[in-house]
Structure 1
Amino acid sequence: MKLAALAIIIVLAAPSAFAAETITGRASVVDGDTIEINGTRIRLNGIDAPESWQKCRRADGSEYRCGAAAAFALDEFLAASRPTRCEQVDVDRYHRIVANCFRADGQNVNAWLVRTGNALDWFRYSHGAFAAEQNAAKIAKAGIWTGTFIRPCEARAEQYHHPRSC
């Protein structure tokens, strides 16, 4: 009994393998849902933006590079209020920090991307945190909601022949 209690105390007192951190600095856009600050790659939590190579269709049927458009929009949005502050919530399988990020003026970057139709609420990871923003984007026909698109996770699965579901 004493050994079990001692083991519990040691486990609770040991430093966590996952230590959350806050990273602040000038963000460089990697793609529509990934930025880099001071050499650290950061995946925006709970959202999924089209890949840079991904194409979508406008209401008139014309194609455009919606992933590139999302990255460009994110770059402009971040440039308007620097620095960017990211609060780590996890580390993904590619060893990127997964974070909720904010501009210097306090605006939530993740939520803005979804609200403007430049990304989707990825329920698998967000548990619906950005559902209201996505609904607003759909109603407003903002960004990718102006026409038709393949969900980014499905586009990746198709492009890279991964049978992985969203």
Structure 2
Amino acid sequence: MSSRRCSERLAAVITLLLLATPAAAQTGRSPASPSVPNQRVTGTGIAVEGDLLTVNGRPVRLMGIDAPDPGQTCLTRGGRSYDCFASSTAVLRGLIQGGEVECTVADRDRNGQEMGECRVSGVDLGRAMVLRGWAFAYRSLSPAYQEAEAYAVSRRLGLWAGKVEKPWQWRSRKLLEAR
């Protein structure tokens, strides 16, 4: 079979795959992860963690970011240890400030928890957390907040003002230490 014919067949197969799963092609999600894509949740928001809130009691993880975990500590510029989990959670609480939260649930994480983009008065909470340096852009889930993180790093804002271990690295280290 000629290379041109192979290329034509490959293009036809790719086209068929894209047509068969248009939602997956547009969102980057697998077709097997449909919680109810783009379901809107609106109401009173409460910060549970720096990347997790409840809206009318319904947990929603902020998509595309990762914030310090419970028990995680960081160091200030001067080398003092502090509870960066509590600090990050407090910043999210301040961003919500009793305002009405509007989330668009886009997917579920590997634990089945709903993830989405949430806003208060039009402000994207995930972006605001990363821009202020209190959460990390979770690039493996979304490239959306890379520029916001670069800004926070360049200005040494929030967690970047001192020494911090990225939450996914901290979790991995803790799992290894527990063995």
Tell whether the structures are fold-level matches, with TM greater than 0.5: yes
Question: 1:93 deviation in Å?
Answer: 2.2
For 2:60, give the aligned amino acid.
Answer: I
2:79 equivalent to 1:101: no
Question: 1:19 deviation in Å?
Answer: 1.5
1:63 pairs, out of 78, 81, 85, with 81
Distance 1:135 1:29 in 2: 25
Aligned counterpart, 1:7:
none
Give the secondary structure class of the aligned counterpart of 1:42. strand
For residues 26-66 of structure 1, give each alpha carbon's deviation from its aligned partner in whole angstroms, at most 9, with x where no partner exists: 11111110111122111100000011311111111111111
Give the alignment's Cα RMSD to 1 decimal: 1.9
Q: How many correspondences in the alignment?
A: 146
For residues 111-161 of structure 1, give each alpha carbon's deviation from its aligned partner in whole angstroms, at most 9, with x where no partner exists: 0000000000010001x2101100110111111100111110011112233
Give the secondary structure class of the aligned counterpart of 1:133. helix
Distance 2:156 2:43 in 1: 32
In the TM superposition, 1:7-156 aligns within 5 A as 17-20=34-37, 21-79=39-97, 82-103=99-120, 105-126=121-142, 128-156=143-171
Instruction: Note if contact 2:34-2:107 (Cα within 8 Å) is conserved in structure 1.
Output: no
- Contiguous gaps of at least 5 residues in structure 2: 1-20, 23-32
Instruction: Note if contact 2:36-2:106 (Cα within 8 Å) is conserved in structure 1.
Output: no
Aligned counterpart, 2:29:
none
Distance 2:52 2:75 in 1: 23
Percentage of matched positions with identical amino acids: 27
- Contiguous gaps of at least 5 residues in structure 1: 1-10
Aligned counterpart, 2:175:
160
Instruction: Note if contact 1:137-1:143 (Cα within 8 Å) is conserved in structure 2.
Output: yes
Q: Which has the larger radius of gyration?
A: 2
For 1:115, give the aligned amino acid.
Answer: L
For 2:139, give the aligned amino acid.
Answer: F
Instruction: Note if contact 1:52-1:71 (Cα within 8 Å) is conserved in structure 2.
Output: no
Q: TM-score, normalised by structure 1?
A: 0.82
